[in-house]
Amino acid sequence: MDNGFSPRRMDLPKALDMSHHLSTLSTSRRPSPLKSLIRYMGDSSIRSLAGGLPNSKFFPFETLSSLTLDPAIYAPSGVPVPKPKSWIATLFDKGLQFIETPKYASNPRELQLSTALQYGGGGGSAELIAFLKEWTLMVIPPSYSDFDIILNCGSTDGFHKIVELLCEKGDGILCEAYTYPSALETGWPMGVRPVPVAMDDFGMIPEALEELLAGWDDVKEGRRRPRVMYTITIGQNPTGTVLPDDRRRAIYKLASKYDIIIVEDDPYFALNFGTYGVDAPGSEEENDPKASEQKRNEVFINALGRSYLKEDHEGRVIRIDTFSKTIAPGCRLGWTTSNALFTERLLRASETSTQQPSGPTQVLVINLIVKTWGMGGWLRWLRGLRGEYGRRRDWMISSLIKGLDVEVRPSQLAYNVFSSTSAPAPRLIAYAKPTASSLADEQWNEKVSVYNSSSKGKGKKIVSFLPPTAGMFVWIDVHLDAHPSLNGRSDVASESYKEDANEVMHRLFVALAEAKVLVAPGWMFVGDGLMAGAPKEEDMASTSSSSGLQSDASVGHFRLAFATLDEKPMKETIAAFCVVVKEFFA
Ligand SMILES: Cc1ncc(COP(=O)(O)O)c(C=O)c1O
């Protein structure tokens, strides 16, 4: 395997000098004087009088142990799931493994609590970083040679430090038109404002980005042209979109042309299931008893291997990964991959804030994935997770199809999300009454307006969605003009229409909540951070203007997460969702 030092990688270019991107704050950071002593402390012959390190005998933990799952416990995508057994019976079938880390290992270089619970370098465990470098080189190798990795306390922490690394007060950050709101909130108090770029069913649109950047006028916009992009490319939160390779290449080229740093937040990289109703890539190998585990892992890796890092030959991509969705969010552990200069500056930021990721978390994760499972076990675990979340995606979609009387056209299943181009993806559409069966395939395309309004909105589409191919979310478009109180109105562009449309969405949200179904309202995710459409009591005084992004005020959105519930409650909940929606539009 390529270890990063092979001649092939050394032949790659080095990262360009990106120091002009550093913020004043980041440039001013100095190494923590005390942290600089830590490198000497790894030498067991040194008797240190230097640091305020507690004596490890007084750490009240002699061991840290856990019963852990077998990495093969969950069935990968496409593999028939055995008849449901009790959770505990499944555990005993597969076997639990006992892992333990002692306070003092016989070799002090081994994983031991006396070191892991002590103050350490801000970058985190060298052993885990080595494992993650091996992973990166295997799955998404950057196209430059001198990349580096630093651990963080999860993506939220990673992104916070990146905003401080790159942004000045008043800067703009490019992002998708709908995005993960906590990311926007990170920059908000620092005066950093989101600059949303139009997106469609395939994520950010390169042409829209180019238009925005080429036409940027500092004076008119009140800020310099953005030099940072925040993007979620796989199973985008909230829209579930997956950016195709042709767009990734085009956007990287634009980033190069306009000197933009791409911050790729990719928590859902492994939950990449493929088209709904079609066997996930790798299903054939998973079901072939003659296929080796290595072959299955290879096919899985090929389906995963999509990242701006792979395009990056200049060192302008910062990638944020997290164990939140693959192990547990409470671990608060993730990692940032970037050029060495940025990594060093991020280390300085950690030294004076989080200091280092939590020792017990690092011990548990290292003992599990590095020492016990190894790379093969880690890949098998991820294959099982993809299988589990893929099945949840399927339960949610099939329940929506059933509950909303949606007809699935063959064209819906024909597109290949793993192709490198943005071939059109047909949406699934629910009608107030299933009168649409007579429509030709092309008329099912959302953009074709073929539905005659009737006084009660009967026969109009009420809901449409694209079954997601990755991630944890279904993004539902709610077609409000089918609602009796908006039906037939011609003032769609007016403020009063928007107010009424927001009010209708709010009523639908409340009706769902009263039926004990909680969904995430679309206004939370609008990429300008202005939260237009929020219910009045939560409106922010200074942000009464419209988002400008919801070009069609007659379409509202809900985000439905399929990650949390098991099959029975999921099916019941979606059935209840559908009843409320249908009644609301009756
Ligand atoms: C896009 C995105 N980024 C970051 C996070 C948070 O990650 P972490 O728990 O590592 O801070 C989430 C969680 O939902 C997310 O969807």
Q: How far is the centre of ligand 1, averaged over its atoms, from the C-alpha of 322 (Å)?
A: 8
267 Cβ closer than 6 Å to some ligand 1 atom: yes
In the chain, where the domains are located: 7-75+100-386, 428-465+472-585
Rounded to whole angstroms, the maximal C-alpha distance in the chain is: 86
User: Which residues on adjacent β-strands are paired with residue 63?
Assistant: 102
322 Cβ closer than 6 Å to some ligand 1 atom: yes
What is the pLDDT, as a whole number, of residue 454?
A: 35
Domain 7-75+100-386 classification at class level: alpha beta
Q: How many other CB atoms are found less than 10 A from the CB of residue 281?
A: 22
Mean pLDDT of 147-154: 97
| Least confident span in 193-202, 268-277, 536-545 | 536-545
What is the pLDDT, as a whole number, of residue 249?
A: 96
Rg (the chain; Cα; Å) = 25
What is the pLDDT, as a whole number, of residue 459?
A: 64
Task: Name which residue leads in pLDDT, 146 or 419.
Answer: 146
User: Which residues on adjacent β-strands are paired with residue 64?
Assistant: 101
| Least confident span in 33-37, 126-130, 484-488 | 33-37
Checking if the pLDDT of 437 tops 60, the result is no
- Provide the pairing of β-strand 147-152 with 97-102: unpaired
CA distance 316 to 14: 11
CA distance 48 to 20: 39
Checking if the pLDDT of 368 tops 90, the result is yes
Confidence band of 419 (pLDDT split at 50, 70, 90): low
CA distance 282 to 418: 12
Checking if the pLDDT of 438 tops 50, the result is no
Confidence band of 108 (pLDDT split at 50, 70, 90): confident
264 Cβ closer than 6 Å to some ligand 1 atom: no
Q: How many other CB atoms are found less than 10 A from the CB of residue 270?
A: 22
CA distance 109 to 253: 44
563 Cβ closer than 6 Å to some ligand 1 atom: no
67-83 residue pLDDT tens: 999 999 999 988 888 77
Neighbouring residues of 383: CB distance < 8 A, sequence distance ≥ 6: 76, 77, 282, 286, 296, 297, 300
Peptide bond connecting 54 to the previous residue in cis, omega within 30 degrees of 0:
no
Task: Name which residue leads in pLDDT, 421 or 530.
Answer: 530
Nearest to 350 by CA among 372, 334, 371, 364: 334
367 close to 183: Cβ distance less than 8 angstroms? no
Helical H segments across 19-139, by residue range: 24-28, 38-41, 87-94, 113-116, 126-139
Nearest to 275 by CA among 376, 190, 397: 397
Mean pLDDT of 197-220: 95
Residue to probe by mutation, ligand 1, list 151, 152, 153, 156, most atoms within 8 Å of CB:
156
Nearest to 558 by CA among 276, 196, 238, 267: 238
Mean pLDDT of 9-14: 87
179 Cβ closer than 6 Å to some ligand 1 atom: no
What 3-state class would DSSP assign to 175? strand
Q: How far is the centre of ligand 1, averaged over its atoms, from the C-alpha of 321 (Å)?
A: 9
321 Cβ closer than 6 Å to some ligand 1 atom: no
What is the pLDDT, as a whole number, of residue 458?
A: 43
CA distance 581 to 195: 33
Backbone φ and ψ for 183, nearest 5 degrees, come out as -65, -45
Mean pLDDT of 390-415: 82
Q: Which two tokens stand for residue 488?
A: 């037939």
Share of the chain above pLDDT 70, in %: 85
Backbone φ and ψ for 174, nearest 5 degrees, come out as -70, 140
Backbone φ and ψ for 25, nearest 5 degrees, come out as -60, -50
Q: How far is the centre of ligand 1, averaged over its atoms, from the C-alpha of 327 (Å)?
A: 13
Q: How far is the centre of ligand 1, averaged over its atoms, from the C-alpha of 155 (Å)?
A: 6
155 Cβ closer than 6 Å to some ligand 1 atom: yes
